[in-house]
Amino acid sequence: MGVKRTERKRTGLWTVQSQSASKSVKVYTCPGCGLEIAPGIAHLVAWRADDIMGEENAVAARRHWHTHCWRVEP
Ligand SMILES: [Zn+2]
């Protein structure tokens, strides 16, 4: 498990966790650019820190982002 941090975006408060290349074994679609994140690419996982349905619900709805795409997300 990577280090967790909290970041504020225009959409609210998010918990962000880095995912190392060795732990990345599936293909994900990045919500920032709509392109695939191939296996073996270090990226990050984000879920709402302010979900009114609770963290369990937020984690279930987590999204995988390219590191760059998350950084430029306002
Ligand atoms: Zn992306």
pLDDT, residue 59, reads: 95
Task: Tell which phi-psi region holds residue 12, choosing left (phi > 0), alpha (psi between -120 and 50) or beta.
Answer: left
Question: Residue 5: pLDDT above 60?
Answer: yes
33: CA distance to ligand 1 center in Å? 4
Contacts of 29 (CB under 8 A, 6+ apart): 35, 36, 37, 64
- CA gap 72, 59 in Å, rounded: 22
pLDDT, residue 13, reads: 96
Break the chain into its structural domains and give their ranges: 4-72
28: CA distance to ligand 1 center in Å? 10
37: CA distance to ligand 1 center in Å? 7
Token duo for residue 57: 């619900």
Q: Give tens-digit pLDDT for 12-53.
A: 999 999 999 999 999 999 999 999 999 999 999 999 999 999
